[in-house]
């Protein structure tokens, strides 16, 4: 199955969720360091109107992508999930999006804020795992 | 194939265009106000509905036709939809998107604002119906220019 983590305006939250999904034992400080390095190597703003990149594979054999653009998450989810269902691809791709608006300077946030963000990321990843399980069971 | 008529709110221009395409509104004569006002979804889909694919019917070729409102993000949504479908589907489904946003006229914007934003449907809805009734007839360039747009087919049925 393909899991696409989506975040609006910045790929940081989607990237952190992808990291958390692929490596459940990862700690926040370590995740931030690795995310900064990943962003430096893979992300260049400008050009395309959206950012989509393959991140890796989870232990369950799912392929993880991350995606980002200016489109609000819930709005994009509605359209893309509808389209995936209509084309019969709903069971192959899962779009997991952060429902909240993220307007943080991710690279420089304090450790307290990192922990708070990490809890939101963990929640999204856990929910996504449950969704994947349900889809696979079907 | 899936045909999607896309505009700002998915409630005026794309609705009228989709139902002309489906033959529910005439192409050769001026439609009556009641014909436009009786269209499903016309000036009805609220802000919370934006992004939802509304089913409009099937064309003679058996293709499903949908209406979609994408606010200012039409191009981004098309790009991301194409990218996800490329990842997911094999063989790739064919999706044609007709972008109606360039054909939203100023009076239609104003009518939409009055009806949807200000909530004055008693004024906005007839205004909009009258506006479309005036611009649709076969002699008008509106439908012919809309009809002339090649749909943005972003997934091919088969790949070599």
pLDDT at position B68 over 70:
yes
Buried b (16+ CB within 10 A) or exposed e, A16-55: bbbbbbbeeebebeebbeebeebbeeeeeeeeeebbbbeb
Which residue of A2, A77, A78 is in closest CB contact with B87? A2
Say if CB A53 and CB A38 are below 8 A apart.
Answer: no
pLDDT score of B160 more than 70: no
Considering only CA atoms, which of B65, B34, B69, B36 is closest in space to residue B50? B69
Burial readout A58-95 (b: 16 or more C-beta within 10 A, e: otherwise): beeebebbbbbbebbbebbbbbbbbbbebbebbebbbb
Write phi, then psi, for A54 (nearest 5 degrees).
Answer: -75, 130
The pTM score is: 0.84
For B75-85, what is the mean pLDDT?
90
- Residue extents of the structural domains in chain A: 2-137
The CA distance from A32 to the nearest CA of chain B, in Å, is: 26
Q: What is the pLDDT of residue B155?
A: 43
Does the beta-carbon distance from B87 to A71 stay under 8 Å? no
Set of chain A residues whose Cβ sits within 8 Å of the Cβ of B58: none
pLDDT band (50, 70, 90) for residue B141:
low
Does the beta-carbon distance from B79 to A49 stay under 8 Å? yes
Position B142 scores a pLDDT of: 59
**Mean per-residue pLDDT for B104-123?**
88
Does A92 contact chain B (CB < 8 Å)?
Answer: yes
pLDDT for B144 equals 60
The answer to whether residue A75 neighbours chain B at the CB level (below 8 Å) is yes
User: Residue B100 above 90 pLDDT?
Assistant: no
What is the residue-averaged pLDDT of chain B?
82
pLDDT interval class at B157 (50, 70, 90)? very low
pLDDT in tens, A83-134: 988 888 777 889 999 866 666 667 677 778 788 888 889 999 999 999 999 9
Task: Report the 10 Å Cβ neighbour count for A137.
Answer: 6
Cβ distance A49 to B85 less than 8 Å, yes or no, reads no
Nearest to B39 by CA among B108, B137, B128: B128
CB A50 within 8 A of CB B79: yes
A70 touches chain B (CB under 8 A): yes
CB within 8 Å: B85 and A87: yes
Nearest beta carbon to residue B80 from set A50, A88, A89: A50
pLDDT at position A10: 86
- Determine the pLDDT at residue B153: 55
* Best residue in B6, B80, B86, B153 for a mutation probing chain A (most A CBs within 10 Å): B80
B38 touches chain A (CB under 8 A): no
Cβ contacts of A123 within 8 Å, gap of 6 or more? none
What is the band of A14 on the pLDDT scale with cuts at 50, 70, 90? very high
Q: Cα–Cα distance between A124 and A121 in angstroms, integer?
A: 5
* Confidence at B89, pLDDT banded by 50, 70, 90: low
């Amino acid at each position: 199955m393909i899991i696409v983590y989506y975040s609006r305006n910045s790929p940081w939250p989607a990237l952190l969720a992808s990291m958390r999904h692929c490596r459940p034992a990862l700690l926040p400080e370590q995740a931030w360091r690795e995310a900064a390095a990943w962003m430096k190597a893979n992300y260049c703003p400008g050009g395309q109107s959206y950012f989509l990149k393959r991140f890796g594979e989870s232990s369950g054999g799912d392929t993880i992508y991350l995606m980002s653009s200016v489109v609000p998450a819930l709005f994009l989810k509605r359209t893309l999930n509808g389209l995936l269902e209509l084309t019969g691809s709903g069971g192959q791709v899962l779009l997991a999006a952060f429902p909240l608006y993220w307007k943080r300077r991710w690279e420089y946030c304090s450790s307290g804020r990192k922990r708070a963000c990490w809890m939101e990321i963990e929640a999204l990843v856990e929910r996504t795992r449950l969704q994947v399980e349900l889809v696979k069971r079907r | 194939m899936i045909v999607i008529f896309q505009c700002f709110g998915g409630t005026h221009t794309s609705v009228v265009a989709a139902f002309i395409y489906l033959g529910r509104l005439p192409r050769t004569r001026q439609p009556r106000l009641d014909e436009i006002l009786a269209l499903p979804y016309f000036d009805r889909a609220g802000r919370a509905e934006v992004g939802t694919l509304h089913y409009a019917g099937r064309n003679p070729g058996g293709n499903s036709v949908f209406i979609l409102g994408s606010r200012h993000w039409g191009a981004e949504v098309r790009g991301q939809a194409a990218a996800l479908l490329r990842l997911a589907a094999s063989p790739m489904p064919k999706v044609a998107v007709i972008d109606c946003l360039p054909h939203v006229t100023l009076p239609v914007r104003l009518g939409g604002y009055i009806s949807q934003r200000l909530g004055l449907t008693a004024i906005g809805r007839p205004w909009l119906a009258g506006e479309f009734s005036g611009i649709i007839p076969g002699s008008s360039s509106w439908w012919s220019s809309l009809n002339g747009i090649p749909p943005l087919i972003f997934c091919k049925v088969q790949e070599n």
